[in-house]
Amino acid sequence: MDKEQLVESARMIKKNAYVPYSKFPVGAALLLKDGSVINGVNVENVSFGATNCAERTAIFTAIANGYKKGDFQAIAVSGDTVDYLPPCSICRQVLVEFCSPSMPVYLTNEKKEILELTLKDLLPYAFTELDM
């Protein structure tokens, strides 16, 4: 699967987001090393701290389906934003837990442009098990 297909998967899934409060749907598409794609959406809650982001939904779903740390190849994030939509800091830290620092991260915007970064670009001073 190429990056355009992965980004399109993230764009398409965001229609399933549960966003009654913010009205800000986000979709994520997580590419696994076996070629599978697991999608995620943001799921809000009236208690905002209980809200889950699209990126974490995808990662947690992958883990629930038996995938392990190191099985992740790339992630695309899509929202209807003027600028590129990056993962929040909590999602970045979760990505660091399960993914390689060199893993591609594809960010999109409402113009359907794609910005390709690595996880290390997003979180250059990540807290890792080496810090324990």
What gap in Å lies between CA 113 and CA 83, rounded to an integer?
A: 9
Out of 4, 8, 55, 97, pick the active-site residue. Answer: 55
What gap in Å lies between CA 9 and CA 28, rounded to an integer?
A: 8
99 is annotated as contributing to ligand binding:
no
User: Is 55 a known active-site residue?
Assistant: yes
Sheet holding 72-79, edge to edge: 37-41, 26-32, 72-79, 104-108, 114-118
Using only C-alpha atoms, what is the Rg of the chain? Answer: 14
Q: Which residues are known binding-site members for Zn(2+)? A: 53, 88, 91
Catalytic machinery residues: 55
Q: Which residues are known binding-site members? A: 53, 88, 91
